[in-house]
Amino acid sequence: MAKEMLVPFDGSERSRRALEYTLTEYPEAAITAIHVLNPAEWGYNSTGSGLGKRWYEEAREESEEVRAEATALAEEHGATVSTTTADGTPGETIAEYVAEHDVDHVAIGSHGRSGPKRLLLGSVAETVARSVSIPVTIIG
């Protein structure tokens, strides 16, 4: 049984399913929900200039909201989660977090890309699964 679970959480439906799965299947585990701020998104989601400090401030505020959502979801299941934010390319950053912390298992939502989108954009879940030496459960 996993003792330390990591759940990448971005507030999407599939990340919610991954967290719910973890809360249900691993009720005794210590669960950390990680939200990754991807600098490649500069300008795409920013309401301001989209560059530099303004983007980062907006992204940090959004991350606080996403982490609060993970906390609330855990509370709905009568559980608690730790939350954290990290900066970088999601797949690589999640794998680095696993390498630097005592994580036994990752549960991650799949965004379900297929065809050309998957070839061009890749899959965070696939990157994580190929980059770590612990079990990874991909929730569709």
CATH number, domain with residue 15: 3.40.50.620
The domain containing residue 105 runs over which residues?
A: 4-39+67-139
49 in a structural domain: no
Domain membership of residue 58 (yes or no) is no
Does a structural domain hold residue 53?
Answer: no
- Inside any domain, residue 60: no
Residue 80: phi, psi to the nearest 5?
Answer: -125, 150
- Evaluate whether residue 45 is within a structural domain: no
Longest dimension (CA), the chain: 47
Q: Is residue 46 part of a domain?
A: no
For residue 120, the model assigns a pLDDT of 41
9-34 per-residue burial string, b: 16 or more CB within 10 A, e: under 16: bbbeebbbebbbbbbeebeebbbbbb
What average pLDDT values come out for the chain (140 residues) when binned by 10 residues?
A: 91 95 96 93 53 78 96 97 96 97 95 53 83 94
Please give the pLDDT value at position 50.
47
Q: What is the pLDDT of residue 46?
A: 47
How many domains does the chain contain in total? 1
